[in-house]
Amino acid sequence: MERVEHRACFGGWQDVYEHVSKTLGCTMRFAVYLPPQAEHAKLPVLYWLSGLTCNEQNFITKAGAQRYAAEHGVMLVAPDTSPRGDDVADADGYDLGKGAGFYVDATQAPWATHYRMYDYVVNELPALVEAELPANGARAISGHSMGGHGALVIALKNAGRYRSVSAFSPIVAPSQVPWGEKAFGAYLGDDRAAWRAYDATALVEHATERLPLLIDQGDADEFLDGQLKPQLLQAACEAAGHPIELRLQPRYDHSYYFIQSFIGAHIAHHAKALHAQA
């Protein structure tokens, strides 16, 4: 694990690390914000999963999250969105291949060799963070769009692993929208039953933990009706008795201007859970 960026930020440090991932079979980068409290104590970690076309830079440069993380004493860890490298499979377009890992473990060629972002985020990355950085083992998870999908799915599939979960503009039902159908068909194959393992609307039905889902969605989001469909998750949660707070925010779109506007509330939400006694 090698630090490749190191910049002072709100009394702490915004770093980027590079490491060879055994899970993905390539060299990966992830961003870490260490708030000033990290000089004297081990801290909880909020994992952030970014959306299509993004890498580890988008969140740390556009969200304005560091000031709130410093205020609340929470580390921020933001991985890349897919494996990278010359030998990693790719595709034309922005919604499949590099930058579009969809936080699944691919089973189909040529993707299965490297595209195991679910395993990477759930297992390898936190193990590395907790071994090498001042992290105390308390975790929360959040994300945007494709990353919001990833955060919801990972929290729902891993009871007891995260103290809290939230999402901005998530793809809540990837099995029922074009982005998800394209990615899941490529990564997981034609058997739609296999897709349910990575679909939040399907997972809430049998979730063994009732971790509340916090979602902010802009009502002027250009992808709202065609790709996001948050009402499908709301209906699934109501049917299953799973707690959800879906906040439809007037005038906001799909951009990081939206995330900037509400990231402080999300970090406060996670900090409350992360600093609570286990």
- Three-class HEC string of 260-273: HHHHHHHHHHHHHH
- What token pair was written down for 46? 């909020």
**101-to-97, 111, 183, 188 alpha-carbon distances in Å:** 6, 10, 8, 12
Measured between alpha carbons, how far is 211 from 254 in angstroms, rounded to an integer? 25
80, 105, 221, 269: the active-site residue: 221
Q: What is the three-class DSSP state of 258?
A: helix
Measured between alpha carbons, how far is 117 from 136 in angstroms, rounded to an integer? 23
Please report where in the chains the tokens 């630090």 appear, as a residue. Answer: 3
Residue 119: which H helix or E strand, with range? helix 117-119
242 is catalytic: no
Give the neighbor-by-neighbor strand order of the sheet with 75-79.
Answer: 2-9, 12-21, 26-34, 75-79, 43-49, 135-143, 165-168, 213-218, 244-249
Distance from the first to the final alpha carbon of the chain? 30
145 is catalytic: yes
254, 266, 269, 270: the active-site residue: 254
DSSP string, 120-189: IIIIIHHHHHHHHSSEEEEEEEEEBTHHHHHHHHHHHHSTTT-S-EEEES----GGGSHHHHHHHHHHH-
- What token pair was written down for 94? 């922005």
21, 50, 142, 145: the active-site residue: 145
CA-nearest of 102, 189, 191 to 154 is: 102
221 is catalytic: yes
Active-site residue list: 145, 221, 254
